[in-house]
């Protein structure tokens, strides 16, 4: 039976992916235009988790804003705390005690490792690497235990304060941290053995969602995703904040800018974070963990923009003060929001199966995207 | 950095420099923004749009656009501000220079009500499409019933 050629032509269809979908990593929805299996167009639809944190901040005192920052990138609460309190400290010219600075580094880098662990675990899972879910989550549990031991909370930590940190570390913290760091290389080796060198994983990820450096910069991509394109740009080195200039570490880079490199770079960055933590443990001085700050935080009239290297890219806080006890305006520049804005550019032209890999590899967290 | 401000002032006489802040800052007339940004990107290495946002100064009847630029990789920072009329805030879109401006300008449009001329897809991004008002304006009431019709 002869079939007319026009009967075989495909027609573009629109497919909703999300907001409830296991591989969108939160309440993110993509409206895909498909030609067969090929993704022709991607439209990001976000805002399902918009809580208006920037608006709420205008009605809270400076200290009361801290718990809201936990709920931005809830996988790396310490880093958000750090970015916010340093912003206020910059505007008020507060000097933080040495011990608090070191504790902040330890907590921030642990948070970064925890966030990267989620990324490698879930990306492996998204391409059906079930076993690989467990090693990172097993080890991440120990990071959360360390947080719980210190501040009573595992994710929404609110540990940093304007002028220092909420509490000193308890006895038993340092040995547990030491043991965790000793075991970390084994987890990384496990991941490398299970996933990084795995033929199926490579076939699914190599060359998928490639983006070159120039395009990445134009789209505002930062963090590990940018470093996977070959540029060793890390604010901890390029514009050190806190006491990052005292530590020795490398900035890993890879050159392909594809999903595979974005995965591998996270494993490499964990090693460097561990290096920083070991140095911070060795140099940890005694003394107080809070500076003497006024009871009511009232920064002078003015504005400040402070950016730190978050787990997912550059996290910026723009703060305008009118001299009162509440922020006049607080804007949060979240890396996931901007990185996600580049997803259509990354994913268009690929297959729908690759789309899942692309989302996982740019590592978004919706708490931060929607704020 | 003072040299930079003077050099730009020679090309664009409307620019004002702001001193004493956490980073050098320029105040640029709205109609010159696009040209100034192009100049900064192409001739002064500010190749990265770090952030873009707006502040509502209700009492002064203006909305201030605030852009933060970064020179990658040496990480020099620069702030560029534009004052807009609060009644009709309109400014050129930077999407042609940095695609990164796309989602951030949509956010400012959504939450602050600034119109970006030349933006390819200016619609709400965080609030639902049927939302009324712009929540980050100072006269927006934080009331559960308000804002929705």
SS3 B48: strand
* Chains A, B: CB pairs < 8 Å: 102
The answer to whether domain A50-370 has CATH 2.40.170.20 is no
Q: Taking CB atoms and an 8 Å cutoff, what residues of chain A touch B128? A: 47
SS3 A11: coil
Q: Which residues contact A358 (CB under 8 A, 6 or more apart)?
A: A208, A209, A259, A343, A346, A347, A350
Partner-chain contact B74 A238, CB within 8 Å: yes
Picking from B66, B103, B107 by the largest number of A CB atoms within 10 A of its own CB, the best residue to mutate is: B103
**Closest-CA residue in chain B for A328?**
B55
Q: Which residues contact A267 (CB under 8 A, 6 or more apart)?
A: A116, A120, A188, A191, A192, A196
Element (H, E) at A216: helix A213-218
Which of B77, B103, B127 is facing A337, going by the closest CB pair? B103
**A142: pLDDT strictly greater than 90:** yes
CA–CA separation, A87 and A109 (whole Å): 19
The mean-pLDDT minimum among A27-36, A85-94, A146-155, A167-176 falls in: A27-36
DSSP bridge pairs for A23: none
Give the pLDDT mean for A204-232: 92
Question: In A, what residues contact B, Cβ < 8 A?
Answer: 44, 46-47, 50, 52, 54-56, 59, 90-91, 217-220, 231-233, 235, 238-239, 302-307, 314, 316, 318, 320, 328-329, 331, 333, 337-338, 340-342, 345, 370-371
Q: Taking CB atoms and an 8 Å cutoff, what residues of chain A touch B53? A: 318, 331, 333
Stated length of chain A: 371
Strand duo B115-117 + B48-57: pairing: unpaired
Helix/strand/coil percentages in chain B, nearest 5 = 25, 30, 50
Partner-chain contact B73 A232, CB within 8 Å: yes
Stated length of chain B: 149
- Model confidence, pTM: 0.88
Tens digit of each residue's pLDDT (9 = 90 or more) over A11-54: 888 888 878 877 777 788 889 998 888 888 999 999 898 998 99
pLDDT computed for residue A17 by the predictor: 87
Tens digit of each residue's pLDDT (9 = 90 or more) over A43-97: 999 989 899 899 999 989 999 999 999 999 889 999 999 999 999 999 998 999 9
Per-residue tokens: A27? 């309440």
- Residue A367 near residue A50 (C-beta atoms within 8 A): no
In angstroms, what is the C-alpha Rg of chain A?
A: 22
pLDDT computed for residue A35 by the predictor: 87
Which of B21, B48, B77 is facing A303, going by the closest CB pair? B21
- Residue B52 near residue B78 (C-beta atoms within 8 A): no
Strand duo A164-165 + B48-57: pairing: unpaired
Tens digit of each residue's pLDDT (9 = 90 or more) over A242-259: 899 999 999 999 999 999
Per-residue tokens: A225? 């995703």
SS3 B90: strand
pLDDT computed for residue A27 by the predictor: 85
CA–CA separation, B75 and B78 (whole Å): 10
**A352: pLDDT strictly greater than 80:** yes
DSSP bridge pairs for B76: B71
pLDDT computed for residue A285 by the predictor: 93
What is the phi/psi pair of residue A19, to 5°? -75, -15
Which of B74, B100, B128 is facing A218, going by the closest CB pair? B100
Partner-chain contact B22 A55, CB within 8 Å: no
CA–CA separation, A81 and A69 (whole Å): 6
CA–CA separation, A342 and A337 (whole Å): 9
- Residue B84 near residue B67 (C-beta atoms within 8 A): no
Picking from A28, A44, A329, A368 by the largest number of B CB atoms within 10 A of its own CB, the best residue to mutate is: A329
Which of A219, A318, A329 is facing B99, going by the closest CB pair? A219
Partner-chain contact B53 A333, CB within 8 Å: yes
**A312: pLDDT strictly greater than 70:** yes
**A261: pLDDT strictly greater than 80:** yes
Considering chain A, what is the average pLDDT of its residues?
90
Q: What is the separation of C-alpha B123 from the centre of its chain, rounded to a whole number of angstroms?
A: 17
Q: What percent of chain A has pLDDT over 70?
A: 98
**A189: pLDDT strictly greater than 90:** yes
For residue B106, count CB atoms less than 10 angstroms from its CB and return exposed for 0-12, middle for 13-18, buried for 19 or more: buried
**A214: pLDDT strictly greater than 80:** yes
Q: Taking CB atoms and an 8 Å cutoff, what residues of chain A touch B111? A: 54-55
pLDDT computed for residue A6 by the predictor: 65
CA–CA separation, B110 and B131 (whole Å): 9
The mean-pLDDT minimum among A111-125, A357-371, B107-121, B131-145 falls in: B131-145
Picking from B51, B94, B130 by the largest number of A CB atoms within 10 A of its own CB, the best residue to mutate is: B51
DSSP classification of residue A351: B
Q: Distance from A180 to chain B by nearest Cα, in Å?
A: 34
CA–CA separation, A139 and A48 (whole Å): 31
- Specify the higher pLDDT residue, B24 or B148: B24
pLDDT band at B106 (very low <50, low <70, confident <90, very high): very high
- Specify the higher pLDDT residue, B142 or B53: B53
- Residue B105 near residue B127 (C-beta atoms within 8 A): no
pLDDT band at B49 (very low <50, low <70, confident <90, very high): very high
Tens digit of each residue's pLDDT (9 = 90 or more) over A271-306: 999 999 999 999 999 889 998 888 888 899 989 999
- Residue A267 near residue A120 (C-beta atoms within 8 A): yes
Partner-chain contact B142 A55, CB within 8 Å: yes
Domains, chain B: 2-90 (3.30.460.80)
Q: Is the dihedral of CA A349, A355, A359, A360 positive or negative?
A: negative
Tens digit of each residue's pLDDT (9 = 90 or more) over B25-36: 899 999 889 999
pLDDT computed for residue B149 by the predictor: 46
In the sheet with A38-45, reading across from the earlier edge strand, the strands are A12-17, A29-35, A38-45
pLDDT computed for residue B143 by the predictor: 66
Which of B66, B73, B142 is facing A233, going by the closest CB pair? B73
DSSP classification of residue A157: -
The mean-pLDDT minimum among A136-140, A217-221, B8-12, B119-123 falls in: B8-12
CA–CA separation, A148 and B96 (whole Å): 47
DSSP classification of residue A193: I
pLDDT band at B18 (very low <50, low <70, confident <90, very high): confident
Partner-chain contact A235 B47, CB within 8 Å: no
pLDDT computed for residue A295 by the predictor: 86
DSSP bridge pairs for B37: none
Strand duo A38-45 + B16-18: pairing: unpaired
């Amino acid at each position: 039976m002869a079939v007319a050629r026009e009967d075989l032509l495909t027609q573009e269809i629109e497919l909703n992916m999300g907001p409830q979908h296991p591989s969108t990593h939160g309440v993110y929805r993509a409206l895909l235009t498909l030609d067969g299996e090929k993704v022709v167009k991607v439209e990001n639809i976000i805002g399902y988790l918009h809580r208006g944190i920037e608006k709420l901040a205008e009605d809270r005192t400076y200290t009361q804003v801290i718990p809201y920052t936990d709920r931005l990138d809830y996988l790396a609460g310490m880093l958000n705390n750090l970015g916010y309190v340093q912003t206020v400290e910059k505007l008020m010219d507060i000097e933080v005690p040495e011990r608090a600075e070191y504790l902040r580094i330890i907590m921030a880098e642990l948070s970064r490792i925890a966030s990267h662990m989620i990324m490698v675990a879930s990306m492996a899972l998204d391409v059906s690497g079930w076993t690989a879910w467990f090693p990172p989550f097993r080890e991440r549990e120990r990071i959360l235990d360390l947080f719980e031991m210190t501040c009573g909370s595992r994710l929404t930590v609110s540990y940093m304060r304007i002028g220092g940190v909420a509490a000193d570390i308890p006895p038993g913290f340092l040995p547990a941290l030491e043991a965790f760091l000793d075991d970390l290389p084994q987890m990384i080796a496990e991941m490398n053995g299970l996933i990084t060198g795995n033929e199926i994983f490579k076939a699914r990820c190599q060359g998928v969602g490639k983006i070159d450096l120039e395009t990445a910069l134009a789209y505002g991509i930062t963090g590990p995703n940018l470093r996977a394109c070959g540029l060793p740009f890390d604010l901890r080195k390029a514009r050190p904040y806190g006491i990052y200039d005292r530590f020795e570490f490398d900035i890993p880079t890879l050159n392909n800018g594809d999903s595979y490199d974005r995965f591998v770079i996270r494993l490499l960055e964990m090693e460097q974070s561990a290096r920083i933590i070991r140095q911070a443990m060795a140099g940890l001085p005694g003394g107080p963990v809070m500076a003497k700050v006024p009871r009511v935080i009232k920064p002078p009239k003015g504005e400040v923009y402070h950016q730190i290297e978050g787990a997912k890219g550059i996290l910026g806080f723009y703060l305008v003060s009118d001299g009162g006890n509440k922020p006049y305006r607080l804007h949060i520049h979240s890396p996931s929001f901007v990185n996600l804005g580049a997803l259509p550019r990354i994913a268009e032209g690929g297959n729908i199966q690759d789309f899942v890999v692309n989302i996982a590899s740019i590592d978004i967290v919706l708490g931060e995207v929607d704020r | 950095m003072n040299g930079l401000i003077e050099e730009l002032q020679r090309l664009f006489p409307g620019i004002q420099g702001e001193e004493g802040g956490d980073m050098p800052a320029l105040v640029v007339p709205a109609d010159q923004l696009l040209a100034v940004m192009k100049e900064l990107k192409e001739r002064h290495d500010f190749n990265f749009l770090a952030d873009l946002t707006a502040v509502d100064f209700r009492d002064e009847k203006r909305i201030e656009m605030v852009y933060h630029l970064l020179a990658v990789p040496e990480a020099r920072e620069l702030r560029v501000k534009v004052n807009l009329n609060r009644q009709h805030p309109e400014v050129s879109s930077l999407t042609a220079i940095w695609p990164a401006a796309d989602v951030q300008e949509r956010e400012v449009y959504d939450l602050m009500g600034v119109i970006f001329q030349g933006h390819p897809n200016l619609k709400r991004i965080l609030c639902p499409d049927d939302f009324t008002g712009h929540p980050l304006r100072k006269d927006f009431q934080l009331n559960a019933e308000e804002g929705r019709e």
